[in-house]
Amino acid sequence: MGNEELEKMITHLRFAGYLTSKDIETAMLLVDRRFFVPEKLKQSAYDDCALPVGYGQTISAPNVVAFMLEKLGVKKGMSVLEIGTGSGYNTALLAEIVGLKGKVTSIEVVQELSKLANENIKKSGKNYKNIFLIVSDGSEGYLPNAPYDAIVVTAAMPWLDENHHLIKQLKPNGKLIAPVGDRYFQNLILYNKNIGTFEKVLPVIFVPLLGKYGFKRE
Ligand code: SAH
């Protein structure tokens, strides 16, 4: 295991068309996914699939992670809100991309997962000064650090329209990407506030967003 396998994963993502920009590709090389999967699943760290991370939650497949970052157009200096910290993998990628002039606010509702994400991020070898991990109900967004250039929701949302409160937390030219649908099947929706469009970009399956504006616990 090592960088050769990580490089193979990235080459696959590039050839399959999920990775298109240099900045996001570089971030995926710098943030080793091995540190974000449980010990017993390390041999699958570079497989292009979702993996369980405990508490019934998953780390998303690399192709979905890359695709969402590309569609959002995350760039150096941006302030980004992530809803659903999970393993912290996407959080670390965002931190690499936005750099020290940018800021990543990531909300997780399961306290233990936020703690695990913090440990994973540390283990991955960097002391990111631009990450703010919050334990709270992310379905409400996070007003203290708003407005954001970009919002990425990594859990399934039951609805999204121009009246959604998350949209109010975006800058006028901000973008939001989220899986929207029912508990078992969703479409990734890309919202562009500048032109007011909702674009269906990919069919996906994410774990449900809980909380006030999410799904009710079963
Ligand atoms: N981005 C993650 C994938 C997270 S899976 C990664 O790279 O690993 C979705 C996460 O959303 C889970 O950790 C789940 O606990 C969290 N979640 C569900 N409902 C939430 C809510 N209302 N607020 C914040 N996080 C929530």
Q: Which among 94, 113, 111 is positioned nearest to 36, based on CA atoms?
A: 113
Mutate which of 108, 111, 120, 183 for ligand 1? The one with the most ligand atoms within 8 Å of its CB, which is 108
Residue nearest atom 14 of ligand 1, based on CA coordinates: 84
3-state SS class at 105:
strand
Is residue 14 packed enough to be buried (19+ CB in 10 Å), middle (13-18) or exposed (0-12)? middle
Q: Which among 38, 82, 28, 78 is positioned nearest to 58, based on CA atoms?
A: 38
Q: Which amino acid is at 108?
A: E
Q: Which atom of ligand 1 is nearest to the CA of 84?
A: 11
Strands 57-59 and 51-54: antiparallel
Mutate which of 110, 114, 121 for ligand 1? The one with the most ligand atoms within 8 Å of its CB, which is 110
Catalytic residue among 21, 44, 60, 87: 60
d(CA 200, CA 188): 6
Mutate which of 36, 59, 210 for ligand 1? The one with the most ligand atoms within 8 Å of its CB, which is 210
Q: What is the pLDDT of residue 1?
A: 46
d(CA 189, CA 178): 5
> Interior CA angle at 10 toward 9 and 13, to 5°?
90
Tell me if residue 21 is catalytic: no
The answer to whether 139 and 213 have CB atoms below 8 angstroms apart is: yes
Q: Which among 103, 99, 58, 62 is positioned nearest to 79, based on CA atoms?
A: 103
Give residue ranges with CB within 6 A of ligand 1: 57-60, 83-84, 86-87, 89-90, 107-110, 113, 137-139, 154-155, 207, 209-211, 214
Residue 4 alpha carbon to ligand 1 centre in Å:
29
- For the chain of 218 residues, list the mean pLDDT of each consecutive stretch of 10: 86 97 96 96 96 93 97 97 98 97 98 97 92 97 98 97 96 98 96 98 95 88
Residue nearest atom 10 of ligand 1, based on CA coordinates: 84
Strands 170-181 and 186-192: antiparallel
